């Protein structure tokens, strides 16, 4: 079985500040890891994914995440927050090489202030 | 380029009524899923399908039934709605397999908001 834990249900940053959203995973087999973003009243969109290639993964809109096996983490970062980044972010995990039955975290709502 | 389309977008039901949510995808994806989203609980998988004519239970299947008679459609049914089924429902689809850019990536619909009174 696999699971993800997202620390902090709400994160607030100033525009231009570093964004750091935390995700820790638990998996008995090598995982595939994902970050999805949900804007208000919309479905989820893929930001980036880790599928056992490079451990530093770059996604859309300037986001990136680093897979750290020793820490069982897959934190999402962006050097400089923009107002348009305000949304809810979900980390998700699935066992590598299996059907895409993702297990999602509970989400982190990012607020960006002036 | 429609992607994943869910109907209806909004519905209000009374306890005990039945209804069906329809999901349609035009990407020729093999896999389809129904999730529910509740505040503070993220997305939880209700049922999924790995191909036409197949369905399987997810994490929270009780009170729901599904059918995948055609590859492009995945129906979610509530036979006797309960207030606990008030939620936002998301359909998603994906390609199977691994080792190529689209593998394991879910494409989501815009959601269907269901309220059961």
pLDDT the model gives residue A99: 57
Residue of A nearest to B56 (CA): A101
Tell me which chain A residues have a C-beta less than 8 angstroms from the C-beta of B60. none
pLDDT tens column, B76-99: 999 999 999 999 999 999 887 655
| Higher pLDDT, residue B14 or B101 | B14
Average pLDDT of the residues in B49-74 = 95
- pLDDT below 50 — which residues of chain A? none
Query: How many residues are listed for chain A in this entry?
Result: 114
How would you classify residue B46: left for phi > 0, otherwise alpha for psi between -120 and 50, otherwise beta?
alpha
In this structure, are residues B92 and B107 in contact, taking their beta carbons and an 8 Å threshold? Answer: yes
Q: Is B60 within 8 Å of chain A by CB?
A: no
Cα separation, A66 vs A55, in Å, equals: 6
Relative to beta strand B112-116, strand B10-13 is parallel
Helix (H, G, I), strand (E, B) or coil at A40: coil
Out of A46, A97, A103, closest to residue B105 by CB: A46
Q: Is B111 within 8 Å of chain A by CB?
A: yes
Average pLDDT of the residues in B43-59 = 93
């Amino acid at each position: 079985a696999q699971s993800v834990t997202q620390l902090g249900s709400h994160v607030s940053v100033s525009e231009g500040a570093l964004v750091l959203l935390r995700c820790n995973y638990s998996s008995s087999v090598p995982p595939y890891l994902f970050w999805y973003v949900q804007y208000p009243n919309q479905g989820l969109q893929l930001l980036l994914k880790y599928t056992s290639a490079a451990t530093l993964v770059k996604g859309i809109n300037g986001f990136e995440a680093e897979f750290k096996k020793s820490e069982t983490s897959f934190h999402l970062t962006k050097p400089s927050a923009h107002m348009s980044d305000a949304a809810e972010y979900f980390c998700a995990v699935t066992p590598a090489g299996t059907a895409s039955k993702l297990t999602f975290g509970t989400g982190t709502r990012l607020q960006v202030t002036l | 380029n429609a992607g994943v389309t869910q109907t209806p977008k909004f519905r209000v039901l009374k306890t005990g009524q039945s209804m069906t949510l329809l999901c349609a995808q035009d990407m020729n994806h093999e896999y389809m899923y129904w999730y529910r989203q509740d505040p503070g609980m993220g997305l939880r998988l209700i049922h999924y399908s790995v191909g036409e004519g197949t369905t399987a239970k997810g994490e929270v299947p009780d009170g729901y039934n599904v059918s995948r008679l055609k590859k492009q459609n995945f129906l979610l049914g509530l036979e006797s709605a309960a207030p606990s089924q008030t939620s936002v429902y998301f359909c998603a689809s994906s390609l199977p397999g691994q080792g190529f850019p689209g593998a394991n990536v879910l494409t989501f619909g815009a959601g269907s908001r269901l309220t059961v009174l």
